Amino acid sequence: MFFIGTYHHNLDEKNRFILPSKLREKLGGTIYVTLGLDKCLTVYPEETYMKLAENLNNASFMHEDNRNYKRTFFGNSYELTLDKQGRVTLDKNLCLKVGITKEIVVVGVQDHVEVWDKERYERMEEANDASYEDNAARVHYGE
């Protein structure tokens, strides 16, 4: 499973948006939405989410940081089914935590999809664009 592309949408009055068809087809019928990193929401296909859950099962509950992460990750996760129009309904509390209001950006990021507040995404993108070449050298070539 491989997700790519950037899409701009608006949330409706019920906190819903239409998931782009190219992403929807790959995500499947059951998806999981949770807090992502960098103040966004992350959308996982069921198979990927279950692999993450299994990996987290190996993290000892005896360590406080593991317990805290598991509580936050699973406590902020929601299993969703897309409606007939391909809409996703975002939890209002999750949206508040990451600053999502009306305008959103949906981004395919390899094995998952991210949902960003438009303004936050634009700020992050501008900062990342400035360091794209340095990051490419480090990520691809270990420099």
Which domain CATH number covers 75? 3.40.1550.20
For residue 113, give the nearest of 62, 47, 57, 43 by alpha carbon. 43
In a domain, 1, yes or no: no
Residue 134: what are its φ and ψ, rounded to 5°?
-65, -45
- pTM check: above 0.75: yes
Asked if the structure places residue 114 within a domain, the reply is: yes
CA pseudo-torsion sign 50, 46, 20, 35: negative
Given this model, what pLDDT does residue 20 score?
92
Chain center to CA of 130 = 23
Q: Is the pLDDT of residue 141 over 80?
A: no
- Whether residue 83 lies inside any domain: the answer is yes
Band (131; pLDDT cuts 50, 70, 90): confident
Question: 129 and 40 in contact (C-beta within 8 Å)?
Answer: no
Domain hosting residue 115, numbered range? 6-141
- Is residue 41 situated within a structural domain? yes
Counted domains in the chain? 1
Whole-angstrom distance, CA of residue 50 vs CA of residue 32: 9
Contacts of 94 (CB under 8 A, 6+ apart): 33, 34, 35, 41, 76, 78, 100
- Token pair 């929601």: residue: 78
pLDDT band at 12 (very low <50, low <70, confident <90, very high): very high
Please check whether residue 101 lies inside any domain of the structure: yes
Label residues 3-20 b or e (16+ Cβ within 10 Å = b). Answer: beeebebebeeebbbbbb
pLDDT at 23: 94
